[in-house]
Structure 1
Amino acid sequence: MQLSVAVWIVIVLALFGANLPFLNQRLFAVIPLRNAGSKKSFWLRLLELLVCYFLLGGLAYLFEVSIGNVFPQGWEFFAISACLFIVFAFPGFVYQYLRRQ
């Protein structure tokens, strides 16, 4: 796989994965909650966002392994990528808590 294709796949999946917890009432968009009329709590959405971040990080690592050298990453990389993932989640947050009635 080419480097540019892998980068765009990771970016698109990051946008999708960051907004996934805010755009539906199911756990990981698959598992329904026990109470049919209940909404997901904010903490459950944050936990789901964290799991999506680590899954996407694993996928990005697999892409990096398949392309070539794996570069060592420090804490700075993970802090910046987590902040970027939270920024990607902003449209879903606005839709769920600020715009939706």
Structure 2
Amino acid sequence: MGNSASVWLVIVLAVLAANTPFVNERCFAVISLKWFAVAKPLWARLLELIVLYFCLGFIAHALESGAGNPFPQGWEFYAINGCLFLVLAFPGFVYRYLKRKHD
């Protein structure tokens, strides 16, 4: 896979992973959470968002390692990357809590 294709793959996966906790009631879009009475609470969505952030980071690091030597990153990279992931999650958050009609 070329460098351009891996960059676009990571971007598309980031958008999907950031919005997945907010657009469905299943954990990681696979596991049914039957012990919650009505809907998945916000803390479960945020926990899922954090886990998906680290999974996406692992995938991006694996793609970078496959293309050559990965660059060493400092805490600044991860802070900016985490903020960008939260910005990508904003459309799903708006859909879930601000726009959608709740019965």
For 1:38-96, what per-residue CA distance to the aligned partner results, in whole angstroms no more than 9, with x for missing partners?
Answer: 20110000000000000000000000000001110000000000000000000000000
SS in 2 for 1:17: helix
CA–CA separation in structure 2 for the residues paired with 1:37 and 1:44: 13
Count of residues paired in the alignment:
101
Give % identity. 58
Q: TM-score, structure 1 length as denominator?
A: 0.96
Does residue 54 of the first structure (1) align with residue 54 of the second (2)?
Answer: yes
Question: Any stretches of 5+ residues in structure 1 without a counterpart?
Answer: none
Distance 1:55 1:25, change over 3 A: same
CA–CA separation in structure 2 for the residues paired with 1:4 and 1:76: 24
Q: Which residue of 1 aligns with 2:12?
A: 12
SS in 1 for 2:27: coil
- The offset of 1:35, in angstroms, is 4.1
Question: Any stretches of 5+ residues in structure 2 without a counterpart?
Answer: none
- The offset of 1:10, in angstroms, is 0.1
RMSD, aligned CA: 1.1
After TM superposition, where is structure 1 displaced by more than 3 Å over at least 4 residues in a row? none
Q: TM-score, structure 2 length as denominator?
A: 0.95
